[in-house]
């Protein structure tokens, strides 16, 4: 079976992980943790990077660091993984869902504007499917309403917005290094920020609330354990050293799909705004004949994955009334969107098989209108 995703592991990853194991530094102290944090901060153009156990924990840590409280409202886009909403719920706050733009699949700033209430404290802008959100417009709305903004950049490693790296576009950013992400630590996550005081607070909250001047066993804050292991960071250090190769190979796959499908009558392709340099995460298309395409790919042994279901329909949002705004664009994406296998070692031959499957489900003579159009 051709899986939708597969991490790129070479002898360098093996070497670093074995080195970490042999050194005895298998827990969350060790040289790879510091090295990874320094490298990730530098790559994101941000002064502070903090490793954490996963992307959900990264979001939670940011929300805890910002002092989000029970009953606060945090605006999130409807096209995202449920983790974005679960992180908001984990601190007792209400995720208020708004629609995305057809041009970016990311949060619509006008919808954000319409969703602000006296209880709204902040915004999580998600860079969905590798494409950066329109941060300038989101920022303008947030500033008028005195809201903080953070980025959920779990899927958008090293993407660029108007020639600035994601991760340095707001008050803070969360990343995931799960196995299907561009760079992976097996599991893993990170937050970045340019706010030194927020970073200090988050470093303490990551480790049970122990601040630098506290007794190790008598913390002065109420925190948790979000520490990432030296083992995971060893894997991540190797991935980051190989970043050009990994990104280049994924870009080759995305370009091949785009070139082959540019004029396909059956599908619309994931859009790219002219100011965006997206990260080559999971290349995705929309088609009203999704079930046929899924079935055709499945019969050829090729895995595909539906786009995330609209967040407003999920219990994490519904049970606290965060679903009060219409989300027609993300609803349509959820019904028609399909992600295709995208990873560095994917051969041109498999790309051709996927393209052939798409061609076989609709022809010029029988056009399929895919929704929504940019
Ligand atoms: C947009 C988004 N946010 C958050 C997460 C959570 O990351 P993790 O799975 O590492 O907890 C993910 C991915 O898994 C994601 O895609």
Residue whose CA is at the smallest distance from ligand 1 atom 8:
55
Decide if pLDDT at 300 tops 90.
yes
pLDDT at 263: 87
- Least Cα distance to 85 among 61, 116, 62, 60 occurs for 60
- Least Cα distance to 359 among 307, 305, 270, 285 occurs for 285
Q: Who contacts 285 (Cβ-Cβ below 8 Å, separation ≥6)? A: 261, 267, 268, 269, 270, 337, 338, 340, 358, 370
Which is more confidently placed, 366 or 124? 124
Atom number of ligand 1 nearest to Cα 127? 1
- Whole-prediction pTM value? 0.96
Asked if residues 338 and 270 have their Cβ atoms less than 8 Å apart, the reply is: no
Q: Who contacts 117 (Cβ-Cβ below 8 Å, separation ≥6)? A: 73, 96
Q: How far is the CA of 348 from the centre of ligand 1 (A)?
A: 28
DSSP SS3 for 69: coil
Q: How far is the CA of 155 from the centre of ligand 1 (A)?
A: 7
For the stretch 148-180, pLDDT in tens is 999 999 999 999 999 999 999 999 999 999 999
Q: Which of 5, 52, 53, 55 to mutate to test the pocket of ligand 1 (most atoms within 8 A of CB)?
A: 55
For the stretch 185-226, pLDDT in tens is 999 999 999 999 999 999 999 999 999 999 999 999 999 999
Q: How far is the CA of 181 from the centre of ligand 1 (A)?
A: 9
Q: How far is the CA of 55 from the centre of ligand 1 (A)?
A: 5
For the stretch 311-340, pLDDT in tens is 999 999 999 999 999 999 999 999 999 999
- Least Cα distance to 225 among 52, 64, 24, 62 occurs for 52
- Residue 359 has φ and ψ, to the nearest 5°, of -60, -30
Residues lining ligand 1, judged by CB closer than 6 Å? Answer: 54-56, 80-81, 83-84, 126, 152, 154-155, 176, 178, 189
Mean pLDDT in residue range 71-95: 98
How far from the centroid of its chain's Cα atoms is residue 161's Cα?
15
Q: How far is the CA of 83 from the centre of ligand 1 (A)?
A: 6
Atom number of ligand 1 nearest to Cα 177? 10
Decide if pLDDT at 257 tops 90.
yes
Q: How far is the CA of 174 from the centre of ligand 1 (A)?
A: 9
Helix (H) or strand (E) holding 250: helix 243-261
Q: Which of 7, 51, 56, 167 to mutate to test the pocket of ligand 1 (most atoms within 8 A of CB)?
A: 56
Decide if pLDDT at 374 tops 80.
no
Q: How far is the CA of 84 from the centre of ligand 1 (A)?
A: 7
Distance CA 114, CA 335 (A): 25
Q: How far is the CA of 5 from the centre of ligand 1 (A)?
A: 15
Atom number of ligand 1 nearest to Cα 80? 1
Atom number of ligand 1 nearest to Cα 59? 4
Asked if residues 353 and 302 have their Cβ atoms less than 8 Å apart, the reply is: yes
Mean pLDDT in residue range 301-316: 97
Distance CA 74, CA 122 (A): 5
Atom number of ligand 1 nearest to Cα 176? 10
Query: pLDDT-based confidence at 363, cuts 50/70/90?
Result: low
Asked if residues 326 and 98 have their Cβ atoms less than 8 Å apart, the reply is: no
pLDDT at 371: 47
Q: How far is the CA of 51 from the centre of ligand 1 (A)?
A: 14
């Amino acid at each position: 079976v051709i899986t939708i995703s597969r991490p790129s592991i070479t002898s360098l990853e093996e070497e670093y992980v074995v080195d970490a194991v042999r050194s005895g530094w298998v827990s969350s102290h060790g040289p790879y943790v510091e090295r990874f944090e320094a490298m990730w901060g530098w790559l994101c153009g941000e002064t502070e990077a903090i490793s954490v156990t996963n992307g959900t924990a990264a979001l939670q840590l940011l929300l805890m660091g910002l002092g989000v409280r029970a009953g606060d409202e945090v605006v999130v886009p409807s096209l995202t993984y449920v983790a974005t909403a679960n992180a908001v719920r984990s601190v007792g706050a209400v995720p208020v869902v708004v629609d995305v733009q057809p041009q970016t699949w990311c949060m619509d700033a006008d919808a954000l504007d319409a969703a602000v209430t006296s209880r709204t404290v902040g915004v999580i802008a998600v860079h969905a499917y590798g494409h950066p959100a329109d941060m300038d417009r989101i920022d303008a709305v947030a500033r008028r309403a005195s809201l903080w903004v953070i980025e959920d950049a779990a899927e958008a490693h090293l993407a660029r917005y108007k020639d600035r790296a994601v991760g340095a576009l707001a008050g803070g950013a969360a990343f995931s290094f799960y196995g299907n992400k561009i760079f992976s630590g097996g599991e893993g996550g990170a937050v970045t920020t340019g706010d030194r005081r927020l970073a200090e607070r988050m470093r303490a909250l990551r480790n049970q609330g122990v601040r630098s001047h506290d007794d190790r066993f008598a913390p002065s804050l109420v925190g948790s354990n979000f520490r990432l292991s030296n083992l995971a960071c060893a894997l991540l250090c190797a991935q980051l050293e190989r970043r050009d190769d990994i990104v280049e190979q994924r870009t080759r796959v995305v370009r091949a799909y785009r070139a082959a499908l540019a004029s396909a009558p059956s599908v619309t392709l994931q859009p790219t705004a002219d100011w965006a340099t997206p990260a080559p995460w999971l290349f995705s298309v929309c088609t009203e004949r999704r079930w046929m395409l899924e079935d055709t790919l499945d019969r050829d042994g090729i895995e595909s994955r539906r786009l995330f279901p609209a967040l407003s329909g999920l219990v994490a949002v519904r049970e606290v009334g965060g679903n009060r705004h219409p989300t027609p664009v993300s609803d349509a994406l959820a019904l028609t969107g399909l992600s295709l296998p995208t990873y560095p070692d994917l051969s041109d031959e498999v790309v051709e098989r996927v393209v052939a499957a798409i061609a076989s489900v609709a022809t010029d003579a029988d056009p399929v209108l895919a929704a929504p159009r940019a």
